């Protein structure tokens, strides 16, 4: 077990103002793998003061200096890539081979991309008699989730620092160890004191203090819609900028022109897109919409894909595709949703609320596929955050679009068609921040964010970089 007894403020590891600690659990066996300090509002105040003082000089550094610093951080992450992947597999449950690519690899991309943008971005332009200047927004409070912990940290920290901002980070208390590793790397990389500060702790204590602090200029939050609303509410009292990346209930629409081979490919791909990271993914394609006359085929193919490929196992085992959930609370939540689906009359195609056989210990649930799902059912409207897929039927393209849009969320989606242009035309009808066309791959440099209850603001690439800039007009 690893014990972290200090937090990172103003370029140094210092004791927390409080005496509380938080246990971090291993998703594979439920054992405690680390303890961290439970930070306080007083810790946040110290961190914000350090970030405010550092902002005066960091905001005036050259883009080239900022780029070099971020590149050093990226190199530090690459040197500890296997360690990071192992830690996050234990924290969140993603199979180790996939953690290496996603949980450790994507953060490196974010730091390297942010470094490139710092140097290449055009910070000034002329408009009539005005010089339009883009400047760093100031001190950024970053509050991040447990499902893609370092990936979401990097989406905020790397781009904010690249833009000339300074940061106070509160990682999820469920998966914080990777944040401590990042702090060690940043310390070794020699960033000036106060540019990056780490205050672990709970949302009600540390998160609220960050959102409320008058010297925090912007809060960037990723997490549940409920918590995001609270962050926005608290932040509104000081009129700070807020970026929210929240939940999703994304529709994956299989149009009626797919031949048998294309339909099977779409269903199998859709299962994987619903189950990635054990379904603990805000963009998971959890509602599969199929023509009414092809529901039986969808059920058969989905069941085969789950039963042959997505059976839960030790995420460190060879060939693992589905690991455990991140916590016992998640197990209880997902199991309750599966039971609710049964109670509301959905058909269980495979799976159910029972614990998987042969897996003692660890936060495992049985991967489940429902059919005969109506869009007004709980399992079709609420984010479950586990390996649960709902198959819904539709009659005609207009009804498919109506069902896809009949959701409080608008984060992601998918559409499959034998005609790529038809698929793109349909995708334009769906109110969502991103959408896959015929299984198009995730682009870590494309703008990422949502409509409706999925939040506002964008992350990654130039759009994510611009979130951390203010606009000033100089009349000449």
- 216 vs 191: CA distance, rounded Å: 20
Domain that holds residue 366: 251-444
For residues 190 and 314, state if they share a domain. Answer: no
Q: Say how many domains are in the chain.
A: 2
- 240 vs 233: CA distance, rounded Å: 11
For residues 242 and 255, state if they share a domain. Answer: no
The yes-or-no answer on residue 165 being catalytic is no
CA 152 to chain centre: 5
Q: Does the structure show a pLDDT above 90 at 273? A: yes
* Average pLDDT of the segment spanning 279-301: 98
For residues 216 and 86, state if they share a domain. Answer: yes
For residues 237 and 283, state if they share a domain. Answer: no
- 10 vs 14: CA distance, rounded Å: 9
pLDDT tens-digit series, residues 28-81 = 999 999 999 999 999 999 999 999 999 999 999 999 999 999 999 999 999 999
For residues 255 and 240, state if they share a domain. Answer: no
Put residue 255 in one of left, alpha, beta given phi > 0 → left and psi -120 to 50 → alpha. beta
What pLDDT is recorded for position 441?
Answer: 95
Phi then psi for 319, rounded to 5 degrees? 80, 5
Q: C-alpha angle 91/233/459, rounded to 5°?
A: 50
Query: Using an 8 Å Cβ cutoff, are 22 and 199 in contact?
Result: no
For residues 237 and 278, state if they share a domain. Answer: no
Here the CATH number for the domain that contains residue 283 is: 3.40.309.10
| Intra-chain end-to-end CA distance of the chain, in Å | 61
134 DSSP β-pair partners: 471
For residues 197 and 343, state if they share a domain. Answer: no
Only one residue has tokens 């946040």, namely 44
Examine residue 449 and state whether it is found in any structural domain, yes or no.
no
Examine residue 160 and state whether it is found in any structural domain, yes or no.
yes
List the catalytic residue out of 245, 299, 459, 467: 245
pLDDT tens-digit series, residues 154-187 = 999 999 999 999 999 999 999 999 999 999 999 9
List the catalytic residue out of 205, 282, 305, 436: 282
What pLDDT is recorded for position 358?
Answer: 86
Task: Choose the weakest-confidence range: 295-299, 360-364, 426-430.
Answer: 360-364
For residues 257 and 192, state if they share a domain. Answer: no
For residues 440 and 458, state if they share a domain. Answer: no
For residues 228 and 257, state if they share a domain. Answer: no
CA gyration radius for the chain? 22
For residues 128 and 9, state if they share a domain. Answer: yes
The SS3 call for residue 42 is helix
CA 184 to chain centre: 22
The yes-or-no answer on residue 184 being catalytic is no
Distances in whole angstroms, Cα of residue 128 to Cα of each of 431, 471, 476: 35, 16, 9
């Amino acid at each position: 077990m690893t014990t972290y007894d200090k937090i990172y403020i103003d370029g140094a590891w210092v004791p927390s103002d409080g005496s509380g600690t938080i246990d971090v659990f291993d998703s594979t066996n439920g054992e405690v793998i680390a303890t961290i300090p439970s930070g306080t509002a007083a810790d946040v105040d110290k961190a914000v003061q350090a970030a405010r003082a550092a902002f005066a000089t960091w905001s005036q550094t050259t883009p080239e200096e900022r780029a070099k610093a971020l590149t050093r951080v990226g190199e530090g992450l690459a040197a500890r890539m296997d360690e990071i992947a192992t830690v996050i597999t234990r924290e969140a449950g993603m199979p180790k081979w996939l953690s290496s690519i996603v949980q450790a690899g994507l953060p490196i991309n974010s730091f390297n991309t942010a470094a490139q943008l710092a140097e290449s971005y055009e910070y000034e332009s002329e408009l009539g008699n005005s010089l339009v200047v883009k400047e760093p927004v100031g001190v950024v409070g970053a509050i991040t989730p447990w499902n893609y912990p370092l990936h979401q940290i990097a989406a905020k920290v790397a781009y904010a620092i690249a833009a000339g901002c300074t940061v106070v980070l509160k990682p999820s208390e469920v998966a914080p160890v990777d944040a401590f590793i990042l702090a060690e790397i940043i310390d070794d990389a020699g960033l000036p004191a106060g540019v990056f500060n780490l205050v672990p702790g709970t949302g009600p204590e540390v998160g609220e203090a960050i959102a409320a602090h008058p010297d925090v200029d912007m809060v960037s939050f990723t997490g549940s819609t409920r918590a995001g609303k609270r962050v926005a509410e608290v932040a509104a009292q000081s009129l700070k900028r807020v970026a929210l990346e929240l939940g999703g209930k994304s529709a994956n629409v299989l149009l009626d022109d797919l031949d048998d081979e294309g339909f099977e490919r779409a269903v199998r791909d859709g299962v994987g897109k619903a189950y990635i990271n054990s379904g603990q993914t805000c963009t998971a394609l959890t509602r599969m919409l199929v023509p009414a006359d092809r529901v039986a085929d969808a059920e058969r193919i989905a069941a085969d894909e789950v039963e042959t490929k997505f059976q839960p196992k030790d995420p460190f085992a060879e060939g693992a595709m589905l690991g455990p959930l991140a916590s016992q609370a998640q197990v209880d939540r997902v199991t309750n949703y599966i039971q609710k689906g049964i109670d509301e009359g959905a058909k269980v195609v495979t799976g159910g609320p029972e614990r998987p056989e042969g897996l003692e210990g660890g936060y495992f649930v049985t991967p489940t596929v429902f059919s005969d799902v109506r869009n007004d059912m709980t399992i079709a409207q609420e984010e479950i955050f586990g390996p649960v897929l709902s198959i819904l039927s539709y009659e005609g393209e207009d009804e498919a679009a109506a069902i896809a849009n009949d959701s409080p969320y608008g984060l992601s989606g998918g559409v499959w068609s034998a005609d790529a242009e038809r698929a793109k035309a349909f995708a334009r009808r769906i109110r969502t921040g991103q959408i896959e066309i015929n299984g198009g791959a995730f682009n870590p440099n494309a703008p990422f964010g949502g409509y409706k209850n999925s939040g506002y603001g964008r992350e990654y690439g130039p759009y994510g970089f611009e979130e951390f800039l203010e606009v000033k007009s100089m009349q000449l």
